[in-house]
Amino acid sequence: MQGFLLMAGGARGSEGGSEMANKIKDDAAGAAPDQEKVKDPERYIGNLLLPTTILALAGICLVQTFDFPGGGEDVGPAGVPYLWIGFTALFCVMLIIQVILRKMPPDPIPGRIGFVILFAGWLAVYLIAIENIGYYVSTFIFLMVSMYVLTYRNYLIMLAVSVGWLVFAYLVFAQLLFIQLPEGPLFRLLFE
């Protein structure tokens, strides 16, 4: 097949044929046209930065669980966070390994990196708010503002997703698993 393509390319003229022949040889050798760009370590910083940041946040969450009561129980209040933190850490480490081995595609052309940093700060504010105003109120605000900032504007769907997640979390954690999520003073005032 390559011989036929070389002959067909050569029949169009010497320049076109040699370009096609070189492309076929490069493809057969496995060389990529932008091989220099792909090996550039700076092209993988975003792929490395995101799982590393999430892994650090998982570490912060792990440290926060040390103060949870009931350490002697089989499944205490820290049981579900340990599962989430463990799976998050596992997947982040897998992503970091894939980046190091260059198994992932390089970062796309840089866009709004300031937005990513701003959103990471918003996530940190959310984590702090969980402790101070409670999981339910802070999660509702976090979900609504996050969807809005990410340019989603169907307010009915935004409200349905936020309320739906809170109802799901309440039913599963508080009612089914008997794990009390941080309620905060506003939630206690409304529901007690």
- CA–CA separation, 106 vs 164, rounded Å? 36
User: Mean pLDDT across the stretch 70-99?
Assistant: 84
Asked if 128 and 190 sit in the same domain, the reply is yes
Query: Which DSSP letter does residue 34 get?
Result: T
Asked if 80 and 116 sit in the same domain, the reply is no
Give the number of other CB atoms < 10 A from CB of residue 143.
19
Asked if 99 and 124 sit in the same domain, the reply is no
126-159 tens-digit pLDDT: 999 998 889 999 999 999 999 999 999 999 999 9
- CA–CA separation, 111 vs 180, rounded Å? 40
When divided into structural domains, the chain yields a total of 3
> What is the maximum span of the chain, computed from C-alpha positions, in angstroms?
86
**Half-sphere exposure of residue 56: CA atoms within 13 angstroms, side-chain side:** 8
Asked if 104 and 129 sit in the same domain, the reply is no
pLDDT at 192: 67
Using the Cα atoms of residue 3, residue 5, residue 7 and residue 13 in order, give the sign of their dihedral: negative
> Global pTM?
0.50
Domain limits for position 14: 1-31
Instruction: Concatenate the DSSP letters of all residues of 89-124 into one string.
Output: HHHHHHHHHHHHTT-SPPP-S---HHHHHHHHHHHH
Asked if 58 and 81 sit in the same domain, the reply is yes
pLDDT at 1: 38
Using the Cα atoms of residue 152, residue 156, residue 160 and residue 166 in order, give the sign of their dihedral: positive
28-58 tens-digit pLDDT: 444 444 444 446 767 788 888 889 999 999 9
